[in-house]
Amino acid sequence: MANLRTAKKDLRCLLKQTLSQVSDHSIQRQCWYEALAAQNTLFSLPEYQSAKSISIYLSMPKGELTTGPIVIDALRRGKEVYVPYTHKADAPASDAPASIMDMVQLKSEDDFDKLEPDSWGIPTPSEASIAGRKRCLGVQSPEHVGAEKPKGSGERLDLVVMPGMAFDCRFGRLGHGKGYYDFFLKRYQRTLGDLPGVETQMPFLGMYS
């Protein structure tokens, strides 16, 4: 396990070095123009079209495929849209990171437009607004197994649009190293069961340089 963590850390460093050599113009071009192709592919998928509840990551100012148009499209189709909300764990369990992520519902396009950027520049729901939003795992301290909703209850997701630094040919994902999605998916499975498509190979929508 330690060797795997070291290998992932080294790979992230290599990727950052490689990306540092790519011009800002090229990165911005891919983030916007390649995003259009990815969005159109996503919109054409039956899994997206039939999804009633969808989680969508909100993109950083650069270096990630822009997801704002996906959020708008999903809301206009009448889907329930959930976005990441990261907060400190009050008393994290031994297997929990210091900060954890849940998915909280966006209420409307106006709600989306009013989100303020966090320290990463990512549009994020305010702490004050969380009490009035649906939450996928539904509790204020989901790091505690005993505090989570009973298995089978909660706000289920039909589809998750997830970011990543890199993907291999088998669709293995390398994240930014914080473990937010890994731990969220672990808690989701523990509380709500597998996501649809876990046992099937879903299409990869990404940005190639």
**Residue 143 contacts residue 93 (beta carbons within 8 Å):** yes
Please determine, for residue 168, whether its predicted confidence score (pLDDT) is greater than 50: yes
Please determine, for residue 64, whether its predicted confidence score (pLDDT) is greater than 80: no
Report the pLDDT value the prediction gives residue 208, as an integer from 0 to 100.
Answer: 40
Arithmetic mean of pLDDT, 98-107:
88
Please determine, for residue 164, whether its predicted confidence score (pLDDT) is greater than 80: no
Residues with Cβ < 8 Å from 138, sequence gap 6 or more? 148, 149, 153, 154, 155
**Residue 99 contacts residue 89 (beta carbons within 8 Å):** yes
Arithmetic mean of pLDDT, 51-62:
89
* Residue 19 vs residue 114, higher pLDDT: 114
d(CA 22, CA 80): 36
| Tokens encoding 166 | 């890199």
* Residue 130 vs residue 92, higher pLDDT: 130
DSSP letter string over 109-129? HHHHHTPEE-TTS-EE--GGG
Locus of tokens 């592919």: 41
| Tokens encoding 80 | 């329930």
Residue 175 confidence class, pLDDT cut points 50, 70, 90? low
Give per-residue pLDDT as tens, 4-25.
666 666 666 776 676 666 777 7
Report the pLDDT value the prediction gives residue 119, as an integer from 0 to 100.
Answer: 86
